[in-house]
Amino acid sequence: MKVLNSEPAHVANATSPLITETVIEYTRDRFPHCRKVFQRQAVRQISREFPANGTRRDAEILLDNFHVELCRDFIFTEQTTRHISRLAERRFPFGGVELDAENYVLDKLTENRFGRLRKYNGPASKQAYLRTVVSNLLESFSRGRYGYLQTPGWIKAMGTSWTRIFQLLFVEQTSVEMIIRIMTERKDAPGHTPEKIRKIITDIRKGVRAYKELKPGESHDRPVSYNDDWVGAEPDDPTAHSAEHLVSDILNFVANIPMTDSGSQLTRDLRDLNLSDDDLLILRLVYLNNEKATVVAGKLGIEKNNIYRRISKLLDRIFSVLDTHGIGLDEKGLLVLRDD
């Protein structure tokens, strides 16, 4: 903070004890890295403006204004604004939205008289705290612009490259050509040839059914969903909780299944499994929401050492139906129709 780097000035002997007490109380649990410097500067500044018959409330108002000015000086230095710009450019390297993202961050930082900065009293430096706040705000900007989209567990299991390509494709709405450019230039992911990246994109699209309705670059007025059959269903819609929809979705997320014959005997056999509401909820939380099984067990009052056994039995029942219809896993873990 630029102001805090200046040399502490002498505080006049006429300084009101009320001012000193107010500043000390205000900073008692704040500014672990620069508390004494802040106190000296605050006392000096408030003493200049404090009215002759001022009250404690007057001191509090002046102190609050002083803190706001410090935050303003901190945010709008060349160093800080340049840092925010770099973070925005790194998060949105293409598409021309980095300026919008930067303006969004600055607007949020100045909200409520720099409320996000003024309320901080943690152990980290204000610079470190600012980096965290800016990163979170950039993510909020992304969700507001592109919609909230949770990466499926099966994509996360494939590694960071798959996860990043999924985000570029469906979260940031990036074209295939631009994705190839971004991924081939990554220093932490050597060996990404254009052919390999195209293959990954193709495999991801096979597992994300909403690609047929939502292509990169299209605009939309609601949160993005790669699972519209489930997320878009109304709560009172009886099909929203049916095994027909949910089991298909779960398998689609977990094993990248192109389940297209929704009116087939396969769908009816899946429905005839008569999975309970708790069974469906467990599968939805674990495989759609990517929650830990032990956390789900705690939510539903199930013993943690039984949750994995229960999930295993549920999947065994589902896969037994698939096996009956000649569907199995290939060497990549993808569901395919067997030739036998």
Instruction: For residue 96, give both structure tokens.
Output: 């021309």
Q: What pLDDT, on a 0 to 100 scale, did the predictor assign at position 106?
A: 93
Asked if residue 294 belongs to a domain, the reply is yes
Q: How far apart are CA 117 and CA 297, in angstroms?
A: 38
121 and 157, same structural domain?
no
Of the three residues 124, 146, 168, the one that is the final residue of a domain is: 146
Q: What pLDDT, on a 0 to 100 scale, did the predictor assign at position 110?
A: 92
Asked if residue 218 belongs to a domain, the reply is no
Question: What would the pLDDT profile of 263-275 be if each residue is shown by its tens digit?
Answer: 456 666 766 777 7
* pTM for this predicted structure: 0.44
Asked if residue 223 belongs to a domain, the reply is no
Asked if residue 201 belongs to a domain, the reply is yes
- 164: closest CA among 116, 217, 200, 131? 200
Asked if residue 217 belongs to a domain, the reply is no
Of the three residues 33, 53, 75, the one that is the final residue of a domain is: 75
Neighbours of 69 (CB within 10 A): 13
Question: What would the pLDDT profile of 324-340 be if each residue is shown by its tens digit?
Answer: 776 655 444 444 455 54
**Owning domain of residue 103:** 78-146
Please check the confidence at residue 30 and state whether its pLDDT lies above 80.
no
Q: What pLDDT, on a 0 to 100 scale, did the predictor assign at position 187?
A: 66
328 and 248, same structural domain?
yes
305 and 266, same structural domain?
yes
Confidence of residue 11 (pLDDT cuts 50, 70, 90): very low
- Give the DSSP letter string of 147-212: ---PPPHHHHTT-HHHHHHHIIIIIS---HHHHHHHHHT-TTSTT--HHHHHHHHHHHHHH-GGGG
Question: What would the pLDDT profile of 84-94 be if each residue is shown by its tens digit?
Answer: 998 888 777 65
Count of helix runs (H) and strand runs (E) in the chain:
16, 2
**How many separate domains does the chain show?**
4
Question: What would the pLDDT profile of 95-111 be if each residue is shown by its tens digit?
Answer: 678 888 899 999 999 99
Question: What would the pLDDT profile of 152-191 be if each residue is shown by its tens digit?
Answer: 777 777 788 888 888 888 766 677 888 888 888 776 666 7
206 and 164, same structural domain?
yes
Please check the confidence at residue 232 and state whether its pLDDT lies above 70.
no
Contacts of 112 (CB under 8 A, 6+ apart): none
